[in-house]
Amino acid sequence: MSKKLTLTATDMNAVMLCDSNYINNKGAKLYKSETYDQSLEYFRLAAAMGNIHAVSTLGYCYLYGRSIKPNLSLALAYFRIAAMKRDVDAAYKLGDIFGSDKWGVKDAEMSVYYYRMAASFVLDEPWETPNVIAWNEDLERYPSLCYALGRELSPGGAMYTDLDSAYQFLKKAEIGYKRELANGSEMYRESYNSVLRHLAGPQFDDVRKKYDPLFDSDADDEETIDE
């Protein structure tokens, strides 16, 4: 049986002061500890206060059934609301959902649409501009998005092949995943190794030397691929 949630005096103060970030962060902390029933209520409250990150997280709660029955329709609705407000995670997750067979709504064109949208939120300018990808450090906070774009821009992907952009996105994914692994997030190990395999592919032989100087290439920091 779930424990009844009673807002603390500080919670009520945050509500009165319209501090939705405090409420959302408290929900995130509970979510991380897998106290999903209480975290859900904090996310709902933060969302009602206008916190777009909370709206996006409600999408995850409904998608994966965190203390509630999974509901794909509601998950998509929450993600779309957050994406309209320029939430990167929500736009990326929509790309992920439509790009997978898992949810029964696979649509490659829609998937690419949302991946592009998510990238545009980070870059805040057309990412087709030469070198704009390599110089944008914010992309490194979204390694899975960068991996998806690198993959789809490569030969055989769902987007028009652009080896220059694909390689840069994959390098950003490499940096981002390496950082997550250094922080103990082993859940990213398989994705990181997949990125390394993509980067080593012969399709990038002509562009590798062009962009490697723009990235940190310290060989001592390189991870090996776990077969």
- The count of other CB atoms within 10 Å of the CB of residue 170 is 26
The residue out of 63, 85, 107 marking a domain boundary is 85
Number of domains in the chain: 2
pLDDT at 127 over 80: no
Q: Looking at the domain assignment, is residue 161 inside a domain?
A: yes
The residue out of 85, 114, 141 marking a domain boundary is 85
47-79 residues labelled b (16+ CB within 10 A) or e (exposed): bebebbbbbbbbbbbbbeebeeeeeeebbbebb
129/28: higher pLDDT? 28
Residues 75 and 92 in one domain: no
pLDDT tens figures, 83-115: 999 999 999 999 999 999 999 999 999 999 999
Question: Tokens in use for 112?
Answer: 């690419």
Yes or no: say if 17 and 9 are a contact pair by the CB < 8 Å rule. no
- For residue 188, what pLDDT is reported? 95
In this prediction, what percent of the chain has a pLDDT beyond 90? 80
Q: Out of 40-44, 70-74, 135-139, 195-199, which region has the weakest mean confidence (pLDDT)?
A: 135-139
Q: Looking at the domain assignment, is residue 5 inside a domain?
A: no
The residue out of 69, 85, 101 marking a domain boundary is 85
Q: How far is CA 42 from CA 17, 18, 93, 221, in A?
A: 16, 13, 21, 40
